[in-house]
Amino acid sequence: MHSSDGQNAGAAIVTLHGVGVHVPFLSPQISLAAPLTSGGGRYALTTEAALHIPATGLRAGVGAGVGRLNSPLRTGALADAFVSAPIAPHATVSLRYYTGLNRYTGQAIFAGIGVHL
């Protein structure tokens, strides 16, 4: 994960699928992103809507929530967008973008491999 204040770190994102009301091809989820930095304190917690594209396995969506991704680590509102594509059974390659809705929350981009249990 790379943050707008120049911080680069490994990160973990945990997503809980199926929380809320489902609509055809669209499902709600909650995600928690946590960069694994020695200083700690950075996070993003979002509620999201994921669109499942039939016959492709692709997922894309948007969300909103709270977090702090930029020094001096002040919490604020943020939004995110994401896309993932399958690469193997129970595994995807994922890309996420987070942006704060004010100047101090910060921005971050995440690229990684998703494992589905």
β-strand pairing of 76-88 with 107-115? unpaired
Please give the angle made by the CA atoms of 4, 29 and 95, to the nearest 5 degrees: 40
Mean pLDDT of 77-94: 95
Tell me the pLDDT of the chain averaged across its residues: 90
pLDDT value at residue 7? 83
Task: Categorize the per-residue pLDDT at 63 as very low, low, confident or very high, splitting at 50, 70 and 90.
Answer: very high
Instruction: Kindly state the tokens that stand for 9.
Output: 């770190």
pTM over 0.85: yes
Each domain of the chain, given as residue ranges in start order, spans 2-115
Model confidence pLDDT, tens digit, residues 90-103: 999 999 999 998 88
Residue 116 has pLDDT above 90, yes or no: no
Q: What angle do CA 78, 92, 63 make, to 5 degrees?
A: 20
Phi-psi region of 63 (alpha: psi -120 to 50; beta: other; left: phi over 0): beta
